A and B are shown apart, each in its own frame.
Chain A
Amino acid sequence: MREEVPAASSPPTDSESIQKLYAENVTAIYRFIYSKVGNREEAEDLTSQVFIKAVRNVDGTRDAQSVQSWLFQVARTTIADYWRDFYRLRTDSLDDLLTAGWEAAIHDEVAQPEEHIEQVQHILSRLPARYREVLTYRFLLNYSIRETADRMGLTEANVKVLQFRALKKAAGTGEETP
């Protein structure tokens, strides 16, 4: 399922309104995409794709809020295509995942950094202590595997296993016991 970007019902808007649309939305779209792909290179690439699609298809008669919602929809389909390619998922399996609430662990459209942090804190707070600990070390404090292992009294191999399970649990599909 590759969602089509809805075509414009009116010609593209002029340069000034495109610049306005861009200036008002680029940061939010970039942050949203970054939160899904986690690295700058890919986020920049996908953000570019979104706005290039947007310029070709934007409907000049929409108000700013409606355009913003539409932009996020374009971003979501762009990310879905990326996931499909990145994970080489079969189309139906991606659909299945989306239907099954793959998005459930992460609320959509986290555009503000504060909201993002809030969600992360909420996710971590629901985890067993050991899972919360390893994810805090690895992601919030940005410790290396070695540093995390030292602090938790584990081997590096153990930490790799633990972070795997913690991420699975945080995503809603992992085991109960660390």
Chain B
Amino acid sequence: MSTHDQTPNEPGDELTPEPNQLDGTGSVERYVRLHDYIEQLRAEKRPAQAGPLPAEDADAYRMAAFLHAAAPGASEPDPAFVANLQARILGQMHGNATPEALQPTPQPTPEPLREIQSAQVASSSSPPVALRPRTAKKSVVSRRSLLGTGLGAAAAIVGVAAGMQIEQHISPPPAPEGTLVPEGSGIWVAVASADTIPVGGVKRFATDYVVGFIRHTSEGFTALSGICTHQGCMLLWNSGDRTFDCPCHGGRFTEQGNSAPGSQFSYRPLPAIQTKVENGKVMVYVVPPQQTPNVEPTATDPTSDHSYNR
């Protein structure tokens, strides 16, 4: 590598990459790999795993991440992410099923998982608004309609690790087709402007009680629940693979809402949400506020009728 120590006379002389070594650790490999990493950062994508690579190159990667993060506005969190995470945390506090919390207690009848609260968030068609945290004792919707009972009951019967293994072998009952909210009991809410979602596009929306994704297909607009049917975590749209991915346990759904072939577990399909377009707005049919189909549990009472067994 003696040429690299010389002060260059020509701009490129000293920068000619060395030929690849047979063991794949040649300089060209290292430059290209780091370049690919930088390009993925620029695209705000999760970089493919870089390893194994020499530990001494990891600092260059970290420096790249650090410099990239200094760009104006780069490190500001997405308001929708902030709101959704708060909802998850509150749901967790109220006894939402976390893997470590499950106990191997038999459940004679299926119980709905604890309700989750969603923080007040801006719809995807309006500018982000300041987060307004909710107090605990607001009425929320039972997630029975979202999750069904099969996997919920199975997960309640066994502990986490065992439960996850057993879930792999369970064939859940066929998911009820149709919509999330029975006709006549919900309201239409505008969540996006139709012209902001091109064909093939997927856009997340959040109303007071329902979060989901709008899809613009060749047949028009459809919508799916954005809650993982496993244990209620909020799904993330993976535009690269065109899947909905669950950050909690690795579940994946196709963009049609079915458990994806590559998913670690086979989950019930995501319920559909009715949509329509009116006056250029995409509208979804969701549960109105103040509707409490079940007895409302108190926030701090883990033994209420509808608490998920911890």
Contacts and interface: CB of A to CB of B under 8 A. Distances in A.
Interface in A136-154: 138-140, 142, 145, 152-154
Interface of B: 4-8, 11-12, 15-17, 27, 30-32, 34-35, 38, 40-42, 44-47, 49-53, 55-72, 74-78, 81-82, 85-86, 88-90, 92-94, 98, 100, 131, 133-136, 236, 247, 299-300
Given A15-B94, A113-B75, 5 more contacts: A14-B136, A15-B90, A52-B89, A56-B100, A167-B61
A105 B38 contact: no
Contact of B47 (A22, A39, A52): A39
A35 B69 contact: yes
Contacts, number: 222
A88 to B, nearest CB: 3
Contacts of B78: 40, 44
A174 B135 CA distance: 53
A6 interface: no
A30 B83 CA distance: 13
B244 to A, nearest CB: 14
Interface of A: 12, 14-16, 18-20, 22-23, 26-27, 30-31, 34-45, 47-48, 51-52, 55-56, 83, 85-89, 93-94, 96-97, 102, 105-106, 113, 116-117, 119-120, 123, 135, 138-140, 142, 145, 152-155, 157-158, 160-164, 167-168, 170-175, 177-178
B90 A39 contact: no
A15 B30 CA distance: 48
A112 to B, nearest CB: 10
A1 to B, nearest CB: 15
A167 B75 CA distance: 20
Given A19-B133, A47-B85, A87-B50, A168 B59 contact: yes
A161 B17 contact: yes
B130 to A, nearest CB: 10
Given A35-B69, A51-B85, A153-B11, A171 B51 contact: no
A152 B72 CA distance: 24
A94 B62 CA distance: 13
A39 B41 contact: yes
A37 B41 CA distance: 9
B88 A44 contact: no
B77 A45 contact: no
B32 A160 contact: yes
Nearest to A13: B93
A55 B93 CA distance: 7
A74 B204 CA distance: 29
